[in-house]
Structure 1
């Protein structure tokens, strides 16, 4: 039986593109490429972080928790796998031993239907508010939510605030992480999926019924998961850093960029060790 459940965001929390490694200097020899896309290297961890994550998974239950779709998540060769559970599509998809859990998806789809506007209504309204002068991509993810890739410099002032106001009254929310603007149903949330995984693991006897939950993430879509955890950490970069977001259970790394990934993994190991000794 493991001592803790550790739910962690991936992109710009544990794994990093070359562009996201700001604040850190690492040579190719110190990096491990864990994702290729169209044959080109895309995402990395440091060799130190890779060893830390592998060690962490031997003592605790680690649950990768990402806004990536299942297909995008499967591109990653994340150290420490295979994973008993992983969470994709911001909580809309649950992977059990690598396979989609259809029961959970039916639950999520029902919650979205009951929660407010449908995806078609939301995307139609969003398309009416944007133009090719500042939006380079419009994507629908896992038939659950959508996101834009934008030219931030050309993005109209006040767009995000106005779009969030429209969404709020219809059971949706909007947030921006760098060049991406996400539009998400309120019922599609990482914290809901983490709670389901916790329930299942306790039933399976993998964790104690009172095992602590530790969490990490860098974006607004991670905030509810961080608040729901017994203790949480965010890196000193990303959307939550720009928002100066704080919570009573929250720690913030000293480092930014890819070095923050190592610091987060050290914090997980230390926090779980302290909890296990108490």
Structure 2
């Protein structure tokens, strides 16, 4: 938001990135019956990885997000690691606040907020098992016949990339049963299975950013919070918000996840991003 604005904002916006604002080449089309890209300008690349294009935005979405972020606080909110987020040339920046690592990190002017990260680490430690124990137990339950990689995101949580066709049918249920009694939870998004500390969530981090913006006078105490996201790890953020929107694709669509305060787009694929941004803009009046 421009520092020239004299009144605190009445709206705070948080948005997921992958398959909500930005799209891989494979995800651009979404459901052909809900996407109308034939007459639209070609999407522009906003992220390169190893020299090749990785993520894209529509021209309309770039224009809308840039305009929106000049009017109200917009918080990019992603499960990506810090490094993965920083690869994106996201229009509308620079960002005063961004939430990465599914809420495990808050970036302030691009730098990790150590106070928040220390609080997350303390909360995780108090709630049950710590990362080394969880990682060791997870590794004892998997093998290379169905797991192509296991990674740890920002020293916060592990996630697997799996072959769903040969993954043991009982793995998710049994692994989740072990985790829930130890302060962790399990969710799957596509081929990725995340094992997340209960202390780490997008809604918790968003509430902290909201508190700080109110305290600094950049956000009115009565401001409305609106958000967008497509995945299971976005659900808590969508429920925390006063109003929210999700695209007609992704894990929440597959689950037919519905809430009275959550709108579903008409479009799917990259066309949904502009629809989401128009919906955000309409909330500003």
- TM-score using structure 2 length: 0.93
CA RMSD of aligned residues (A): 1.3
- Partners of 1:121 and 1:236 in 2: how far apart? 38
The 5-angstrom pairing of residues 33-72 of structure 1 reads 33-72=45-84
**Which one of 13, 25, 32 corresponds to residue 18 of structure 1?**
25
Equivalents in 1 of 2:258, 2:41: separation in Å?
35
Query: Following TM superposition, by how much is the alpha carbon of 1:214 offset from its aligned partner in structure 2, in angstroms?
Result: 0.2
Asked if 1:81 corresponds to 2:93, the answer is: yes
Alignment of 1:1-278 (within 5 A): 1-21=8-28, 22-23=30-31, 24=35, 26=37, 29-273=41-285
1:3–1:59 CA contact under 8 A, matched in 2: no
Report how far residue 105 of structure 1 moved: 0.7
Preserved contact between residue 41 and residue 58 of structure 2 (Cα < 8 Å): no
Total equivalences in the alignment: 273
Runs of 4 or more, structure 1, over 6 Å off, are none
Residue 167 of structure 1: CA displacement?
A: 1.1
Give the distance between the partners of 1:38 and 1:104, measured in 2 at CA: 31
Secondary structure class of the residue paired with 2:155: coil
Counterpart of 1:261 in 2: which secondary structure? helix
Partner SS for 2:26: helix
**Aligned counterparts of 2:174 and 2:106: Cα–Cα separation in 1:** 32
Cα distance, 1:242 vs. partner? Answer: 1.2
- Residue 231 of structure 1: CA displacement? 0.2
Secondary structure of 1:18's aligned partner: coil
**CA–CA separation in structure 1 for the residues paired with 2:153 and 2:20:** 21
Q: TM-score, normalised by structure 1?
A: 0.95
Distance in 2 of aligned mates of 1:221 and 1:31? 26
Q: Give 5+ residue unaligned stretches, structure 1.
A: 274-278
Q: Deviations over 1:83-124 (max 9, x none)?
A: 010000111101011111111111111011011111111111
Show structure 2 runs of 5+ residues with no match. Answer: 1-7
For residues 25-80 of structure 1, the C-alpha deviation after alignment (integer angstroms, 9 at most, x for no partner) is 64795211000001110000100100010111111110000011111110000010
Single out whichever of 47-56 and 155-164 deviates more from structure 2.
155-164
More displaced 10-residue stretch of structure 1: 136-145 or 125-134: 125-134
Quote the offset at 1:2 in angstroms.
Answer: 2.3
1:36–1:42 contact (8 Å) kept in structure 2: yes
